[in-house]
């Protein structure tokens, strides 16, 4: 009997081993991964997988988040970076390599400062964090929460952290984690791009000069070929371009240039419009007690109306706004400037309803107007990308603007026009402005190739040209551009550049990479008030309860043992 039992046990063991060997053999040919998280945070998009599987060389990532004394939030971010790159290795295999590097490892201040300088020169942004020692004293510490990504001899910087002042540090770090896949995949896309799409900045109607769009142009050139084009009535002026940008025109478009732009759109061309229907200047207040905000007709109301929007001749006042310097000194005394909120410069929060505006920093605007949707064409999808805050109001132009406004705090009860649209995305098949307006010979001309209804395309309209305009500073005899979104009065850089880049990337993204930004990880944070109030209870539960539980198990086991051996 014992011999038969022993034989059966041996046979069972052999069968189990054989099954395990067979399963491992089959697993070598069948690849499968199961993400059990509710928000699918470990599931890469198909676009990212394709990028990784098509790599022809090694992507090497150097991550500068390897300090042993990182705060918890950055340690969590570091772990998320590692998890993301480990997922990348599953699909990119040996073509993905990474290392975590500690810039302070040497301990020598001179060496550390030199490393910091090199990282900054390469484009990584430092972050200051506060530390407390055992005695409670605070000190500043510099870290570089970013990486250098290289591929086929080219290297680009990648910053991990989203820094939105309207969010808590925990929310910013959570948003940074959400964007990791997109940022890494976008870096690989950037390094792999050989044939660049073409963008045209239109000029000839008072649009911004090159120096005022220099910063965004520099960023666009990393991905695209960028030119300045004067249409001047030439039918082929926009041939070969994928996207046109109309930034800050101040004189009227004639019917010929509008026709060429209209037909570019009908052919499937993408377009971005940054327009000011009302002209107002803060500089005018430096020389006088007030300035006038006047309606500006640039001759494109009809074409935008035809596509489904009307940019209104008004100005938004918003309690969520930027500041300007206000001289508080009396006459005859040296000027003393203090920052004062200026409701004509709204700071726009992202709606987070689209990959373009997800997790954006505040957007800086100046004398911005509203956008109204018109028409009943259900085939055109209209998405509001940016809007004013809950506490905003509208002022119709023409209107006199005075610094007297700064002498009293805005009354929230008067700011009741909430969430006014200022940037919109239109998608669909647009109808030509010139439908049924041309003579039969023009409509039938092969050279003109007129289309009265367009191919599926997208356009973005923004009712403040200053969103894409960088400020300038004098450097000797030349003017040097500030970063787009930089505020000279506060020293803060807002999210204007990221917004414009996201717009362009979305319009020209054939691969669908922007859809990766739709990932939404739930932020699970402790209730700090509840933790503070119930601190003692939870300490007791976590220390006393396990001991009681173990003692009870011991007592029960002892009783069972006594009864068993008593029999």
* Residue pair 316/422 in contact by the 8 Å Cβ criterion: yes
Query: What confidence score (pLDDT) does residue 201 get?
Result: 98
Examine the domain organization and report whether 333 and 459 are in the same domain: yes
Examine the domain organization and report whether 86 and 103 are in the same domain: yes
Examine the domain organization and report whether 546 and 441 are in the same domain: no
Residue 233 backbone class (left: φ over 0; alpha: ψ -120 to 50; beta: rest): left
Examine the domain organization and report whether 543 and 499 are in the same domain: no
Examine the domain organization and report whether 155 and 21 are in the same domain: no
Q: Is residue 236 part of a domain?
A: yes
Query: What confidence score (pLDDT) does residue 433 get?
Result: 94
Query: What confidence score (pLDDT) does residue 410 get?
Result: 87
Q: Which of 173, 191, 209 represents a domain boundary (last residue)?
A: 191
Neighbours of 382 (CB within 10 A): 17
Query: What confidence score (pLDDT) does residue 550 get?
Result: 85
Domain that holds residue 545: 528-566
Query: What confidence score (pLDDT) does residue 178 get?
Result: 78
Q: What is the pTM of this model?
A: 0.76
Query: What confidence score (pLDDT) does residue 258 get?
Result: 95
What gap in Å lies between CA 254 and CA 530, rounded to an integer?
65
Domain count of the fold of the chain: 4
Examine the domain organization and report whether 27 and 51 are in the same domain: no
Residues of the chain with pLDDT under 70: 1-6, 8-9, 27-42, 67-68, 130-139, 163-169, 171, 329, 331-332, 510-533, 565-567
Query: What confidence score (pLDDT) does residue 376 get?
Result: 82
Residues with Cβ within 8 Å of 32's Cβ and at least 6 positions away in sequence, in order, are none
Q: What is the pLDDT of residues 61-110, one digit of tens each?
A: 999 887 667 777 788 888 888 988 998 898 888 899 999 988 888 778 88
* Residue pair 262/433 in contact by the 8 Å Cβ criterion: yes
According to DSSP, the β-strands at 198-203 and 243-247 are parallel
């Amino acid at each position: 009997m014992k011999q038969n039992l022993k034989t059966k046990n041996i046979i069972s063991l052999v069968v189990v081993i054989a099954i395990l060997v067979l399963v491992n053999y089959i697993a070598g040919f069948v690849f499968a991964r199961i993400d059990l998280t509710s928000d699918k945070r470990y599931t890469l998009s198909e676009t990212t997988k394709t990028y990784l599987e098509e790599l022809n060389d090694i992507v090497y990532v150097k991550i500068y988040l390897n300090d042993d004394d990182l705060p918890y939030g950055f340690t969590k971010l570091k772990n998320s970076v590692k998890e993301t790159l480990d997922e990348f290795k599953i699909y990119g295999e040996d073509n993905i390599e990474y290392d975590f590097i500690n810039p302070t490892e040497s301990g020598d201040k001179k060496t550390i400062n030199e490393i910091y300088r090199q990282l900054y020169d390469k484009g990584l942004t430092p972050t200051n964090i506060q530390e407390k020692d055992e005695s409670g004293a605070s000190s500043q510490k510099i870290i570089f929460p970013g990486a250098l990504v290289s591929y086929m001899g080219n290297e680009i910087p990648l910053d991990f952290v989203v820094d939105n002042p309207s969010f808590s540090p925990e929310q910013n770090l959570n948003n940074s984690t959400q964007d990791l896949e997109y940022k890494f995949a976008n870096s690989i896309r950037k390094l792999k791009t050989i044939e660049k799409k073409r963008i045209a900045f239109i000029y000839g109607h008072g649009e911004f000069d090159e120096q005022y769009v220099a910063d965004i142009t520099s960023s666009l050139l990393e991905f695209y070929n960028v030119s300045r084009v004067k249409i001047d009535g030439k039918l082929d002026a926009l041939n070969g371009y994928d996207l046109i940008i109309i930034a800050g025109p101040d004189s009227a478009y004639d019917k010929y240039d509008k026709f060429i732009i209209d037909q570019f759109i009908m052919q499937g061309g993408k377009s971005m419009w940054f327009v000011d229907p009302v002209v107002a200047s803060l500089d005018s207040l430096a020389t006088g007690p007030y300035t006038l905000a006047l309606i500006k007709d640039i001759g494109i109301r009809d074409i935008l109306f035809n596509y489904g929007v009307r940019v209104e001749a008004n100005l938004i006042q918003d309690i969520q706004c930027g500041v300007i310097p206000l001289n508080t000194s009396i006459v005859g005394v040296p000027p003393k400037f203090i920052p004062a909120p200026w409701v004509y410069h709204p700071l726009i929060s992202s709606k987070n309803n689209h990959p373009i505006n997800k997790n954006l920093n505040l957007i800086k605007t100046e004398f911005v107007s509203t956008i109204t949707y018109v028409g009943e064409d259900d085939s055109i999808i209209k998405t509001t990308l940016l809007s004013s805050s809950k506490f905003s109001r509208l002022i119709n132009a023409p209107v006199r603007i005075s610094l007297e406004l700064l002498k009293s705090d805005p009354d929230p009860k008067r700011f009741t026009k909430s969430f006014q649209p200022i940037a919109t995305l239109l998608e669909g098949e647009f109808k030509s402005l010139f439908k049924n307006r041309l003579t039969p010979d023009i409509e039938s001309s092969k050279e003109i190739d007129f289309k009265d209804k367009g191919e599926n395309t997208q356009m973005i309209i923004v009712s403040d040209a200053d969103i894409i305009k960088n400020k300038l500073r004098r450097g000797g005899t030349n003017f040097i551009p500030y970063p787009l979104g930089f505020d000279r009065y506060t020293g803060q850089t807002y999210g204007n550049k990221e917004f414009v880049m996201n717009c362009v990337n979305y319009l020209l993204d054939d691969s669908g990479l922007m859809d990766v930004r739709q990932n939404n990880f739930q932020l699970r944070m402790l209730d700090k008030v509840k933790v503070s109030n119930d601190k003692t209870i939870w300490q007791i539960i976590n220390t006393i309860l396990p001991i009681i539980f173990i003692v009870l198990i011991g007592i029960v086991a002892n009783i069972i043992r006594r009864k068993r051996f008593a029999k």
